[in-house]
Amino acid sequence: MNKKIYLFCSAGMSTSLLASKMQKVADQHKLPVEVEAFPHGKIEDIVKTENPDCILLGPQVKYLYNETVAKFSDLKTPIAVIDSQAYGLMDGEKVLKHAVMLIKKNK
C-alpha cells in the first residue's frame, strides 16, 4: 500500500515541481509512496477524502501550520513545514527523507 505524502502551498506551482522530484527519488529507490501537490485552499477536502500519511506545507504558507495542526490533530497525521532551504533548492531527496522519517516516527 502506497504512503501518501501531500504537499500544500499557495498556488501549487513550485510545489508541484518539488513533488515530482520527490516522486522520482522515491521511484528510483522503489519506495511505495505517492507524492502530490495541491493549493492550500483544498487542504480540508483532500485530507478528508484522501487521508494522507504526511502533510507538508510549503514555506510560503507556514503561517497556516498551527491552524492545520489544530484542525487535523484527531487524525494523528504528521504535519510539517518544508525546510525553506531544501524548498529553494528543490531538493526532492531531502524533503522526501524528512517526510518518510515523519511517517515512521508516527507509527
Choosing from 5, 9, 54, 99, the catalytic residue is 9
CATH number for 94: 3.40.50.2300
Strand order in the sheet with 33-39: 33-39, 3-9, 54-57, 79-81
User: Which 3 state secondary structure label does DSSP give 79?
Assistant: strand
Look up 9 and say whether it is catalytic. yes
**Residue 12's pLDDT is what?**
61
**Residue 1's pLDDT is what?**
81
Instruction: Give the percent of the chain with pLDDT over 70.
Output: 99
Backbone φ and ψ for 81, nearest 5 degrees, come out as -95, 135
Domain housing 39: 3-106
Write down the pTM of the prediction.
Answer: 0.95
The pLDDT tens digits for 63-100 are 999 999 999 988 989 999 999 999 999 999 999 999 99
**Residue 13's pLDDT is what?**
74
Total tally of structural domains belonging to the chain: 1
